[in-house]
Structure 1
Amino acid sequence: MEIGERLKEAREAKNLSLEEIQQMTKIQTRYLQAIEKGNFSVMPGNFYVRAFIKEYATAVDLDPDVLMEEHKSELPATSDESAVQYTRVQRSRKESPSTSKSPAVFSFLPTLIVALLVIGILFTVWYLYQQSQGDDQGQSNQQTEDQDEVYVGDPDSSDTEENSDGEGGESSAEDDSQTEEESQKDDSANEEEQPEPELNVVDQGTQGNDQVTNIELVNPGEEIVVEVASESDHWLEITEGEDNELYSGMFGEADSPLKEDLSGADQFMIRFGNPEPIDITIAGVSLEIPEMSGNTVQRVFVEVVDEKEQQE
């Protein structure tokens, strides 16, 4: 069996195609077919016949040295095998015409990229510099225009403007003084015009043993504080609205003075024992109720009336 047939038989035993052997050895298919047929004349040289056969044998798991020794009579003689060292890298370079030019291109490419980067950086720096110069020039022109606007005028009028500024400064000070005085007068007028709180009795009646008095608190101001003081004991109730009970119980000297803040309330009720002395003030106004004979308990309903809100 010739060497080409043995290689083909080993390839078929491993179920490998010539394309797969080409991928493994990087040897062109036409050379592999020539080896299997024993047609060594198509090879580029006698050295490549031996080199290709060794690669083929290694790919199909045959010992290349043993195979070459057994079939050395079939192989063409080579004058100096040691003069040429075959490798896959050398073979791939000889088989591919384009690869012989690629190293020069690739070696030049990094230099080209670096040069482009340098040119780009220099252009960017130049452009930013031009922009900054343009901005500075624009600011300088703007400042020049502003100065021209400030100093345009009649030179003879400078004294007049200085005098005018001096008189204007004095006039401005006088105006400020007058404004402060007017503001103080307005504040005083507002304080004087602020009406004082008043407690006006609307009507009176009875309910059981209670004397009932309806009172209007006119112009209550911002705060409505009910203050109660007494030297003797009394029953005291203070209720906001209908059911918000603020105080309920005996009240005496030990509890005096009692202060309840009813600011914002529309109506509230104060109920206390009739025997005196007991002092009650509402929004700073003393509560005085006309007495009705035969009653021992006072029930006072206070309705808050703000005349300003009614007028508005």
Structure 2
Amino acid sequence: MIKMSEEHNQEIGQALQGARIEKGLSLDDIQQMTKIQKRYLQAIENGQFDQLPGKFYERAFVRQYAASVGLDADEFIKDHASDEDLKPVEPDFEGARVDTDNITRAGMHRETESPVDKTRQVMPKVLIAVAAVAIVLIVWALVSAFSGTSKSATNSSSVAVSSSKVESSSSSKKASSKPAPKPAPKQPAVKVGNGVVSGNTVTYNNIQAPKKEEVLQLAATSDAWLQVTDNAGTMLFNGTVKANAPQSIKVPATATNIKMQIGNANPLKVKFGNQDIDMKNNGATVWNANLMIKH
């Protein structure tokens, strides 16, 4: 996105640094606002874009920096980019991670789950299994008690039941003469399921949807940049979702995978088939999502 010449990058960094100083903000303030690591912010101000993880991060980080100091991110990008720079960029999240302080960093490894984290993940399943067994035992006890008391009630009520057969028979004949109303056909609804987070990606592996065109709804409380493509490689959306200006994207009936690459995930709200899609980004700004659709 950004021209890679040292002189041009320094112009970008100086413009952002000047806007920050004019606002009376420190780099620590910008880090807190954008969740971008301070050393990357310093590299941007120095025009050292080779210190950033990749071109997608350049685009996302510069946009975030510009917005945090009160600049129009889109106008800033247009003023400092050529037509070649504005082409879609395939992001590389392999080296990226979000630490426990919600700061986006890049490194040579991914964080591994600790035994405590694994225990926390397994514990809810164990509790659910215990609760299910308890419910089965309670139901079995209630059924056993009810069957014992119903035997004595059956003997005393047999006379009343036999005398009511004639009346129920005549009334059933009258009722059967009226045609039963036809139930309204049910329209299949979209079912999202649970998303699984791995690194900087949330994946929904089992979205149930009818084989027809659906709508992906995007809304944001502040500017959010993203790209949306389908399994055929078709670009469905590439741009900025403005605050309070929602976007509706048509998803083809043939689509089985929707890939979202997001430069500012915090203010973004997503719905598919009018069902909420939780980004589960835990404060991370650079994020992506995979929606696996089954018809």
If the TM-score is normalised by the length of the shorter chain, which range does it land in? 0.3 to 0.5
The structure whose Rg is larger is 1
* Larger RCO (CA under 8 A, 6+ residues apart): 2
TM-score, normalised relative to structure 1 = 0.34
TM-score, normalised relative to structure 2 = 0.35
